[in-house]
Amino acid sequence: MAKGKVLIAMSGGIDSSVAAMLLLEQGYDLVGVTFRTFDSIRESCLAKEKGCCSIESIMEAKHLAEQLGFEHHILDFRETFRKHVIANFVDEYRRGRTPNPCVLCNSHIKWGELMAAADEYGCDFIATGHYARITQKNGHYFLRKAVDTHKDQTYFLWMLSEENLRRTMFPLGDLTKEQVRAIALQHGFEKLSKKRESQEICFVADNNYRSFLASEGVETSVGDYIDADGKVLGKHNGYTCYTIGQRKGLGIALGYPAFVTKIDAERNQVTIGTHDELYTNEVRIIDNKFLGDSSQPVFAQIRYRSQPSEARYKDGVLTFKEPVWAVTPGQSVVIYQNDLLVGGGLIE
């Protein structure tokens, strides 16, 4: 007898595919879904299942579901994706900030639209191939870091509500990436086991942010590089081309390594300075939540690839024990106590 019915989000990649294999082995009934967010797929491509119009990943997910013996649906979330993710991405860059679209996609699309789809298909849970775990403590549901700390993705999931977590399963949370590849190979999917992962934002072609922003109506002109005292040092190509902490591609020689330290969208000015000018002890966050113990130290992570740093949290302000480098407005900061994710917010 099946344990329950699970909506499994499938990208066509190895992680979500192995998650589906594991859930089937554990006795769950599955409904697979792959969603369209930002693409130019024509209906004729879908009908013919041709490898055109960026359709490969959708068809790979569909065919894998067929091989494993469960139903699969293609869901069109493009309108919602544009409204919540792309519009925010464009607006944040227009304001001189650096957004993290994957965080919003998870909260509004994967745990927004997918929850509605789970209800429509009569599913008890949703599941994804994220590397994360869920635990309960003091009557609350918490995200917990994955066993594979190099692959842990809780940073991108901090916006999920407790209601989301009550109905979510992460089959890969206790596995390493190497173990996931081995499982794919054991099930006879050798090609899948060797598949590379995309590290780019799905809707920005060739990782060309400026071209994408221009296509969305964000045009910026040449402006001034200035130092911390307001002295003009040279010209830049438009403030949307830069992010805090950037060193490469500045196109200016000052006789010392220069970094972007501030962006002023209103004046189209980019402040540059030394490496040490980017250190700070205090970070103010907005749209924040916190379920931890504020009387105890926390460990806050200010970007995906950075190491969490010890801090104190109070009323939307993180005060770090040691200075942190290149705090970037618009990015997420995620707060941990031990391996539990107890809060997060957007850097203001």
In this prediction, residue 50 carries a pLDDT of 42
Q: Name the more confident of 231 and 58.
A: 231
Bridge partners of 332?
Answer: 346
Give the pLDDT band (50/70/90) at residue 203: confident
* Domain residue ranges of the chain, discontinuous segments joined by +: 5-205, 220-273, 277-347
Is 105 a catalytic site residue?
yes
Confidence category of residue 26, pLDDT binned at 50, 70, 90? very high
Domains 5-205 and 220-273 agree in fold:
no
Q: Where are the alpha helices (DSSP H) in the chain?
A: 14-25, 43-48, 56-68, 78-81, 87-94, 101-104, 114-120, 162-166, 177-186, 190-193, 209-215
Q: pLDDT at position 54, please?
A: 55
Burial of 314 (0-12, 13-18, 19+ CB in 10 A): exposed
Tell me the fold of 220-273. SH3 type barrels. (2.30.30)
Binned at pLDDT 50, 70 and 90, residue 253 comes out as: very high
Work out the percent of the chain whose per-residue pLDDT is above 90. Answer: 81
The dotted CATH code for 277-347 is 2.40.30.10
Tokens of 55: 């359709």
Lowest mean pLDDT among 54-58, 105-109, 228-232, 296-300: 54-58
* H/E segment holding residue 274: none
Residue 326: φ, ψ to 5°: 60, 50
- Within 8 A by CB and 6+ apart from 14, the residues are 129, 180, 181, 184, 192, 193, 195, 197
**Helix, strand, coil percent content, the chain, rounded in steps of 5:** 30, 30, 40
Q: How far apart are alpha carbons 74 and 79 in whole angstroms?
A: 15
- For domain 5-205, the CATH superfamily is HUPs (3.40.50.620)
Q: What is the mean pLDDT of the chain?
A: 91
Give me the mean pLDDT over the 155-174 stretch.
97
Say if residue 41's pLDDT is above 70: no
8-state DSSP, 130: -
Whether 102 is catalytic is no
pLDDT band per the 50, 70, 90 thresholds, residue 194: confident
Determine the straight-line distance between the first and last CA of the chain, rounded to whole angstroms. 51
pTM, two decimal places? 0.91
> What is the structure's pLDDT at 198?
63
- Residue 273: per-residue pLDDT: 97
Catalytic residue among 102, 105, 123, 241: 105
